[in-house]
Amino acid sequence: MNRQIRLGGTWTPVIGWLIGANVALFLAQNFSPLVTEWLALVPGAVWPHRLHTLVTYAFLHGSVGHIFFNMLTLYFFGGDLDLFLGRRRFLTLYMGSALAGGLAALLLPANTLVIGASGAIYGLLVAYAVYFPRTEVLLWFLLPMKMWVLVTLWVGISLFYSVFGSGGGIAHLAHLGGAVFGFAYTLRLWRPLPMLKDLQYRWRRRRFKRIQ
Q: Hey, what amino acid is at 104?
A: A
**134 phi-psi bin (left φ>0, alpha ψ -120 to 50, beta other):** alpha
Catalytic residue among 61, 162, 172, 175: 175
Measured on CA atoms in the order 118, 121, 123, 125, is the torsion positive or negative?
negative
Active site residue 175: yes
The two most distant CA atoms of the chain are separated, in Å, by 61
61 and 115 Cβ atoms separated by less than 8 Å: yes
Catalytic residue among 118, 158, 162, 172: 118
42, 156, 184 from 161: Cα distances, Å: 19, 9, 21
Q: Please identify every residue annotated as catalytic.
A: 118, 175
